[in-house]
A and B are shown apart, each in its own frame.
Chain A
Amino acid sequence: MSYKIPMGPYHPALEEPYKLDLICEGETVRDAKLHIGFNFRGIEHLAETRNYIQVIALMERVCGICSNIHTLTLCQAMEKLTGQTPPPRAQYIRVIMAELERLHSHVLWAGIAAKLMGFKTMFMTCFELREKVMDVLQAISGNRVNYSMNRIGGVNRDIDDPAALLIMIDVLEKEMVRKVIPIFTTSSTARSRCADIGVLTNAKAISLGVVGPVARASGVAQDLRRAAPYAAYAEMDFQVPVESAGDVRARLMVRALEIMESCNILRQALTKLPPGELNAGEGKLAFITGTATSRVEAPRGEVMYSVSWKEGSNKPARVHVRTPTFVNMPAIRSMVQGARLADTPLIQASIDPCYSCTDR
């Protein structure tokens, strides 16, 4: 006999409201239906009513975790429409902010994953570490969540003392290697919860078009930082971790290795930080008529902005956002089919869903 278990829109396993209707037989999930839209705020419409300064502040509030990525992508698109080019120092600072945000997001995700396994001690360890990443972000931008670093043609604030930040990065990396990564890779209870569950095969990953760590954990080696470098990523030397198993453990491993790579990129960027201006200069901007798109690799995968403008206007005609969760979400359905009910919270979390981005 099958029965339906509603998971959400308000549920202890979910960070944000969305709903997963699980059709179960005993403890086995046969099928799932996904409902989104509980967090709709009409931000894309609001963007059409804001001028080019205000729209950056608005889009920063699409997401509470990857706020910097949204303004970065928007600014890159608007730079195409205004013909501005950010100076090299600004490009480097953008890389530093993006990588710190990736660290922040991945550590936060590790904490959530630990909580869903019922491993609250690990959750606390991860969130303690996340505080330290946030301290670094605060040291640079003065803010902990919405950093307001990006502007059209550059960045708003400088990094005055890269050497001091390097020390903080070293401490972070040491803690990651010492505490977070071993618990997920060697703890037997944690391993028994992650291995061979929520498998997404390589073929399925390609046909569903998943992005980011979810794709890389299924053997799809795609990363925009490598495939279509933006900011100063072309000058960075880094690996793109790829796993082939496609289960929750592989997604965990990919994120753990990405944490290490982020530390590596941060160290390079801070060491090589070139001198120079922070932005392309003050003054009124003139937009051309047309549509510009920009893509960046957010912690969860590819974010794309499509910005349309009419010449002479100071407001965008249309701002369209495509977030990684929107693309990864349908994969949940094929991941939970045949899974145990106890694993579904962890499986749905393994794509690192962000519904405030998706619903906007």
Chain B
Amino acid sequence: MNSLTTALARLLVFPGLLFAIPAAWFFLWVERKSVALMQGRIGPPFMQPFFDFIKLLGKTTPPRNGLGGLLMKAWPLIAVSSAAGAVGLLPVLPLSGGFEGDLILLLALLELPSMCIIAAGFSSRSIFGEIGSAREAVLSVAYNVVFLLAIVSIAASQHTFRLEGLAALQYSPLHLLGIAAILVCLPAKLHINPFSLPNAEQEIYSGPMTEYAGPELAMWELSHGLEWVAATGLVATLVAPHVTVWWLGVLLFAALSFGVVLLLSVVAAATARLQIDTTVRFYWQCTLIFAVLAISSALFMRFRL
């Protein structure tokens, strides 16, 4: 009973929905505002992502019949719930529970929104949606190899697939290498420059989202925000030093996530969008070497231990 209450509290209160949704809006605002300031613009007011969400919720969308319409409604909901679940799994609080293998579940939940985007683009039957989805699929194959290798190598060096074990990890060259590899993958995961291919507005409007409007689009925006929280939170938990005081843990988590958002915004503001083949080459060439290094050092550490 106690563990069930803890799990529910984590999923619904902190770091789950009650924290994650406002945090998602906040991070979306931080990203937009900081990019705007770097570009010499004023940027949106603080409440803008929230206003956008409410405004979109209030719109009516043209009815879509049949299975296609049903699927188009379902994808954003699946994306939101999986992203929220991923945030809920993050080991922010010390001794927050968790179970053996929750890392694998987290990785799966992090990947689901991007799967949903691919499916949504194809179910919308728009040519721009289909091209966007194809790009998202290629992109996800390219960066996921590195992303998974980085995380798996850190986990393998610790003989655990439990998130708490990773959060409590001491700094090591492998650990830092892994974090750097994950950071390189984040712009692609979050569709920001230089890897904003699937939603390259000057080429294919908003890609898979082109046909979406109203409440469904609001859900996509929310899932995008939650992805920001989950992805930056993952880095934050890996970077954060191990503390036993709960409020310090929360504070550290928030501050580090904020730092990662700022870092990604700087990268987004300072770069042009790369082409799909340059992107794929980048991930396969440079960062594969990166992850191979991580794996070999993980093996080395394993044998040494």
Contacts and interface: CB of A to CB of B under 8 A. Distances in A.
Interface of A: 3, 5, 11-13, 27, 114-125, 128, 187, 189-190, 192-193, 340-345
Contacts of A119: 193, 271-273
B197 interface: yes
B272 A342 contact: no
A115 B205 CA distance: 14
A5 B197 CA distance: 17
B196 A118 contact: yes
B274 A345 contact: no
B127 A189 contact: no
A340 B202 contact: no
B202 A120 contact: no
B201 A342 contact: no
Given A5-B127, A120-B39, A342-B197, A187 B203 contact: no
A13 B39 contact: no
Given A189-B194, A342-B200, A121 B270 contact: yes
Given A12-B202, A344-B203, A124 B272 contact: no
A118 B273 contact: yes
A192 B274 CA distance: 8
21 contacts: A12-B202, A12-B205, A116-B202, A120-B269, A121-B38, A121-B269, A123-B39, A124-B39, A125-B40, A187-B272, A189-B274, A192-B274, A192-B278, A340-B277, A341-B131, A341-B203, A342-B197, A342-B203, A342-B275, A342-B276, A343-B275
A345 B35 CA distance: 23
A115 B131 CA distance: 20
A235 to B, nearest CB: 39
A52 B277 CA distance: 56
Contacts of A3: 127
The 4 A-B residue pairs whose C-beta atoms are closest, nearest first, are A118-B273, A119-B272, A117-B272, A189-B272
Contact of A193 (B39, B128, B269, B272): B272
Contacts of B270: 121
A116 to B, nearest CB: 5
Contacts of A116: 202
A263 to B, nearest CB: 23
Given A5-B127, A190-B272, A121 B39 contact: yes
A124 B201 contact: no
A116 B200 CA distance: 9
B272 A114 contact: yes
Nearest to B206: A12
A90 to B, nearest CB: 38
Contact of B202 (A122, A192, A345): A345
A24 to B, nearest CB: 9
Given A3-B127, A124-B40, A115 B202 contact: yes
A190 B40 CA distance: 20
B275 A192 contact: yes
B304 interface: no
Interface string B261-286: 00000000111111111100000000
Given A5-B127, A118-B196, A345 B203 contact: yes
A122 B271 CA distance: 9
Contacts of A118: 193-194, 196, 200, 202, 272-273
A22 to B, nearest CB: 10
Nearest to A112: B202
Interface in B97-127: 127
Nearest to A27: B276
Contacts of B128: 5
Interface string B178-222: 000000000000000110110011111100000000000000000
A274 to B, nearest CB: 40
B273 A117 contact: yes
B210 to A, nearest CB: 11
Contacts of A342: 197, 200, 203, 273, 275-276
A5 B41 CA distance: 33
B271 A340 contact: no
